């Protein structure tokens, strides 16, 4: 095996059991013989014995905000200060300070996985002082890495221009699944999966449902949950909207298979959203679910090639309503469904992971 007995340490700030990208990466590297060691946070009880990895989780004193990031990086740095490190994998910029501190006193290979353009996320862009701090972190750390991977052409181009570092593109595609396209629910529903944060088009989508017969299932949690629930209470269409909470990957897969239409909407609140390529885009394709999607560069590029979605120019209620109307046309819907069947033969993890293994072969 290519990576037999090679120890790879992973720093991740996110929720381990819900991070489908990292779960796929760990599985692929483990199957190549790597020893996987993960340092993360314990945000809720979870039996880690189900995974064949060395997992260390701590119960954070601070769960959100600057102190949460500081706590994580201090704990990670001190834990591995006196340990041998062969290869360190930092998932997202919020774990890079610990990697930088360790690199000052140790020699090891260092890989950065940029899930997003961190300093351009909406939560950061609107706060100039916070944005400046993360830009300093990026300027200090990214030029020092030995290898970088990211999820889209747009991110890769931005990082190359800004930091003169090549990032290999490893897209957030799911495993190829053998199920046939299942019959859709008798009561057709829209599915939104993902974080409930600003700029995801959820307020506008809920408002647009006043003009349709669709139900909406929202699978995920986030800062906007209370605001959205309050909005639903005030609308006549509120009974058509269902909050499912955060679902484990297997549960989410079942919801996705039976959905009529997938939702993938974003507002241009920074370069991170604008050049994003979300895993839900590919999850909908794998489940043969046509989707309503924002017309941002990465999605347009893929939709021009595969035509699996109706793209809309903005998040206005009018645009959303018109997009859903297009998807309600039987011929359009069938064409997009058939295209999903073809696209999923190419857009799957079995093909994407070969690039990932290649990155580690070169380290």
Q: Is residue 182 very low, low, confident or very high in pLDDT (cuts 50, 70, 90)?
A: low
Q: What is the mean pLDDT of the chain?
A: 91
What distance in Å separates the CA atoms of residue 267 and residue 50, rounded to the nearest whole number? 38
Q: Is residue 71 very low, low, confident or very high in pLDDT (cuts 50, 70, 90)?
A: very high
Topology match between the domains 7-173+349-362 and 189-343: yes
- For the whole prediction, is pTM greater than 0.85? yes
Selected from 3.40.190.10, 3.40.50.2300, 3.40.50.2000, 3.10.20.30, the CATH number assigned to the domain covering 189-343 reads 3.40.50.2000
Strand 7-12 relative to strand 291-294: parallel, antiparallel, unpaired?
Answer: unpaired
The pLDDT tens digits of the residues spanning 299-357 come to 999 999 999 999 999 999 999 999 999 999 999 999 999 999 999 999 999 999 999 99
- Residue ranges in 45-127 assigned as alpha helix (H): 66-80, 96-105, 122-125
- The better pLDDT of the pair 98, 177 is held by 98
Q: Is residue 290 very low, low, confident or very high in pLDDT (cuts 50, 70, 90)?
A: very high
E-strand stretches of the chain: 7-12, 35-41, 54-58, 87-91, 109-114, 147-150, 167-169, 189-193, 215-219, 241-245, 261-264, 291-294, 309-312
Per-residue pLDDT, 255: 85
Domain spans, the chain: 7-173+349-362, 189-343
Please give the CATH superfamily to which domain 7-173+349-362 belongs.
Glycogen Phosphorylase B; (3.40.50.2000)
Query: Closest by alpha carbon to 120, among 313, 261, 270?
Result: 270
């Amino acid at each position: 095996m290519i990576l037999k007995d090679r120890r790879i340490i992973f720093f991740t700030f996110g929720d381990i059991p819900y991070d489908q990208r990292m779960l796929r990466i760990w599985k692929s590297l483990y199957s190549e013989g790597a020893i996987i060691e993960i340092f993360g946070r314990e945000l809720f009880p979870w039996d880690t014995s189900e995974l064949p990895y060395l997992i260390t989780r701590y119960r954070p004193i601070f769960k959100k905000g600057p102190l949460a990031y500081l706590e994580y990086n201090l704990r990670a740095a001190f834990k591995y200060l006196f340990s041998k490190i062969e290869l360190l994998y930092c998932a997202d910029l919020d774990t890079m300070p610990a990697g930088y501190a360790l690199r000052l006193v140790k020699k090891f290979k260092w890989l950065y996985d940029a899930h997003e353009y961190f300093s351009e996320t909406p939560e950061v862009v609107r706060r100039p002082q916070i944005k400046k701090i993360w830009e300093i972190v990026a300027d200090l750390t990214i030029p020092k890495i030995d290898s970088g991977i990211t999820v889209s052409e747009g991110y890769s181009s931005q990082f190359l221009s800004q930091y003169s570092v090549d990032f290999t593109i490893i897209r957030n595609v799911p495993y190829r699944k053998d199920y046939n396209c299942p019959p859709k629910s008798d009561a057709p529903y829209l599915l939104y999966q993902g974080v409930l944060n600003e700029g995801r088009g959820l307020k506008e989508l809920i408002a647009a449902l006043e003009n349709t017969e669709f139900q909406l299932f929202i699978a995920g949690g986030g800062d906007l949950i209370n605001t959205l629930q309050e909005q639903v209470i005030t609308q006549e269409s509120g009974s058509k909207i269902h909050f499912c909470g955060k679902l484990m990957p297997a549960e989410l897969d079942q919801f996705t298979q039976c959905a009529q239409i997938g939702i993938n909407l974003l507002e241009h609140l920074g370069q991170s959203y604008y050049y994003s390529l979300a895993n839900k885009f590919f999850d909908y394709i794998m489940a043969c679910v046509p989707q309503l999607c924002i017309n941002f560069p990465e999605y347009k590029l893929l939709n021009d090639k595969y035509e699996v979605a109706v793209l809309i120019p903005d998040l206005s209620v009018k645009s959303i309503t018109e997009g859903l109307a297009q998807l309600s046309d039987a011929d359009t819907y069938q064409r997009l469904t058939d295209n999903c069947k073809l696209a999923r033969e190419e857009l799957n993890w079995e093909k994407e992971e070969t690039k990932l293994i290649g990155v580690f072969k070169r380290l």
